Structure 1
Amino acid sequence: MKTEKNRESGLELLRIIAIILIVSHHLVVHCPFDLWAEPFCLKRLFFQFLYRASGKIGIALFLLITVWFLADKEISLRQAAKKIWSLWSILFFWNLSSLVLQFIIDPTSVIASTWLDLLFPLTRNEWWYVSSYSVFMLLLPFVRTSLQKMGKRPHLQLCILMIVLWGLLRFVPGANLGMGLNFVGFCYVFTLLAYYKWYSLRLSRFALNVAGLLGLFAIVIWNAVLSAVWVGDADNLPIYLEPVQDEWSIPILAVSFALFGLFRGMHFHSKIVNHIASASFGVYLITEQPFILKQLWFNWVNLSVFSLTNTRFCCLCCRYSLFFVLRLCWSSCERVCIGLLWIGCGRSSSIEYGRKKSGDGYWNAFAVL
């Protein structure tokens, strides 16, 4: 078993790349900058990629890392509940930190829903990914057992059915068959990856490269062609771009799985990479916390202010990098505070930031994030 000290850094490096893609997506999608009002050019095409595809690839990468390790683990309902409690303590820490900042900056904005978010972040879907992950964890013992008992052939048939329903049929613009930012996507990806892992399917580096390039090619070409020929209301264009760059779409999963397979094949150890990766969950949480989100993307790092010239864009990149570095520094304090919370609740101090230091090594309350 790999311990925390010697775990391989290939997937940890991929986790860092994933969080950069996700936060870059948040930079564009949450700011008041009207991307679709800009004339079509390479610069807008780049921001279009950040607007949707980059974040969806990052989400898929996090989920693939998670389910890869969950596929072979016997998780009981009680264990799943413990993991969710561990996760709640992390959310409570970030909401409490944000609440303190909110009282300092804008105390009038603290209302009843703010306190509800503090105590019930999972049920109120404050962070959709975390809420979906929690529901998925509660269902996992039953989903995993069912998939194992059905055998190889029915499992393959289920994979094909899911790909048709939530892959091929999603190429119809505006299609919605219950798939989206919810736990259904988690079950979908788990079903596909579990079949790949349990029945020892293997793809060569060449096949992974081809799959990733084809997926990326489909995303770029679809964006470029539709944007170049579009003559209607620009605000409706994203609806027709969704089939190739929405969460869990075939091109997004192709790129994500290719990257996952390539980085999983990297065998090296780096304490620096592992430490930075351990802060990735916190980066996601702080940039999506409602109050911090508004301050960050509207006031501190506003894309509309920096999008006019290359010099201003460079300044934006510097601010973005500075924020990321400061967040990594804060992660040390975060783990200490959460450790104190666990100790105060009578839990073992061997649990740090949701990750066990025991021989079970690689388990993380969010092996993902």
Structure 2
Amino acid sequence: MRKTRNSNIELLRIISMLFITLHHFSLWAQGGRSDYLIAHNHLWSAFWSLFYLPLGDIGVYIFVMISGFYLGIKNISIKQSVKKTLKVYAEVYFYSILFLILALNWQSPVKTNKLWQSVMPITFNQYWFVSGYVVLMLLVPFINQAVNKLTKRQFAYLLTVLVVICGIFPLINNTIASQTVGLGILITAYLFGTFIAKFIHRNNWNYLIGLSLFVVNTIIIYIIMYYQIILTKDRFTNIYTGIFALLSAWGLFLIFINLKPVFHVIFNQVARHMFAVYLITQNIFVLKQLWSNFHFKQIHDLTKLNLYGLGTVLLIMLGCYLIDIVRSAIFKLISLIAKKSENP
């Protein structure tokens, strides 16, 4: 019988991308509003206008944990690692070149730095997350071998060390091991997913632990974020990254992994295209133009604003999903043609 992925985890992948895109709604579509509110000392309103901001890092960590959950317990060869990396790179390159071509037709001239970022998106770090994720995938064979024989206690010790140096140190501006959004924290999230796959079994106790971790750490994030806005008069707070977001993500992962395994073809189908949501919405030629359409300046009720934002993000994700279906069909066609040319 063909093994199918647990749809609970695939639904969590969709939720992780929803969190990331909601974060970008607050950051890019509502950044100007929050700056205005802060400048006029309407700090509570500024906080609500940035309501989705902390969700981004939780979403990123969940997305990487899922990779660790699926890949961390496998014996991945260097060849398999390179193949997976090239598959990711092909998708990145497709959208990078697609939007470069559209930009060359719609706006002229294209700035040199954007040209290089489009032609070599990983080398010139067009997407920080993609660059980090590609490096992580190349390291996976060695990471997996390094942790394969660890006992649960040894693994827990490793995670504790990584949480301190990659999850706490960056919050006090110590970036010796990682920035708040850097390779170190992605490796840490990957190993959290691996730890769950190796040692966590489905039971009510683990579900309650996950619920507590998610609720408590998310509340802490929002409380500290609010007081940082008050103290710094700045929307670019960093407390929602690091250990609190990591533990919140781990808690949410524990909740979903302890649900009864199910299979829903729709969830699994949609989840396969979620990476494209990030690649499209964060493309250097799309980002500002996209979010400039969703400032919602005419809306002053911030609760309504955030509801509009949620609806907007869901529609954007649907649009990206449909676009990526076309991209996937093109890749399958190219693969089919290549196979036929090899075997005439």
User: What TM-score do the two structures reach when normalised by structure 1?
Assistant: 0.79
Within the candidate set 328, 331, 343, 1:335 is matched to 328
Task: Provide Cα deviations, 1:162-209, integer angstroms capped at 9, x if missing partner.
Answer: 22323344553x343331223222222233443444345775222211
The residue identity in structure 2 corresponding to 1:277 is A
Within the candidate set 244, 248, 257, 1:255 is matched to 248
Q: Which residue of structure 2 lines up, in the alignment, with residue 91 of structure 1?
A: 92
Q: Which residue of structure 2 lines up, in the alignment, with residue 179 of structure 1?
A: 178
Deviation at 1:344, TM superposition (A): 4.9
Distance 1:22 1:72 in 2: 26
Q: Is residue 32 of structure 2 the alignment partner of residue 33 of structure 1?
A: yes
Distance 2:313 2:154 in 1: 47
Q: Which residue of structure 2 lines up, in the alignment, with residue 215 of structure 1?
A: 217
Unaligned runs of 5+ in 1: 349-369
Within the candidate set 293, 296, 319, 1:326 is matched to 319
Q: Is residue 287 of structure 2 the alignment partner of residue 289 of structure 1?
A: no
Which structure is higher in RCO with an 8 Å CA cutoff and minimum separation 6?
1
Deviation at 1:112, TM superposition (A): 4.4
Q: How does 1:4-23 map to 2 (within 5 A)?
A: 6-23=4-21
Deviation at 1:227, TM superposition (A): 3.9
Deviation at 1:339, TM superposition (A): 1.9
Secondary structure of the residue that 1:204 maps to in structure 2? helix
Change (3 A) 1:274 1:75: same
Q: Is the 8 A contact 2:8 2:257 kept in 1?
A: yes
Task: Provide Cα deviations, 1:310-333, integer angstroms capped at 9, x if missing partner.
Answer: 677666555444333322222221
The residue identity in structure 2 corresponding to 1:214 is V
Secondary structure of the residue that 1:179 maps to in structure 2? coil
The residue identity in structure 1 corresponding to 2:246 is L
Aligned residues: 332
Q: How does 1:64-143 map to 2 (within 5 A)?
A: 64-106=65-107, 108-143=108-143
Change (3 A) 1:306 1:344: farther
Deviation at 1:287, TM superposition (A): 0.5
Task: Provide Cα deviations, 1:287-322, integer angstroms capped at 9, x if missing partner.
Answer: 011001121122x32x26355346776665554443
Distance 1:122 1:278 in 2: 21
Distance 1:313 1:185 in 2: 29
Distance 1:192 1:122 in 2: 25
Q: Is the 8 A contact 1:68 1:194 kept in 2?
A: yes
Q: Which residue of structure 1 lines up, in the alignment, with residue 264 of structure 2?
A: 270
User: What TM-score do the two structures reach when normalised by structure 2?
Assistant: 0.84
Deviation at 1:66, TM superposition (A): 0.9
Secondary structure of the residue that 1:291 maps to in structure 2? coil
Q: Which residue of structure 1 lines up, in the alignment, with residue 146 of structure 2?
A: 146
Distance 1:226 1:118 in 2: 36
Secondary structure of the residue that 2:263 maps to in structure 1? coil
Distance 1:294 1:344 in 2: 37
Q: Which residue of structure 2 lines up, in the alignment, with residue 308 of structure 1?
A: 300
Q: Is the 8 A contact 2:73 2:148 kept in 1?
A: no
Deviation at 1:126, TM superposition (A): 1.3
The residue identity in structure 2 corresponding to 1:207 is I
Q: Which residue of structure 2 lines up, in the alignment, with residue 56 of structure 1?
A: 57
Secondary structure of the residue that 1:33 maps to in structure 2? helix
The residue identity in structure 2 corresponding to 1:75 is I
The CA RMSD measured in Å over matched residues stands at 2.9
Deviation at 1:274, TM superposition (A): 2.1
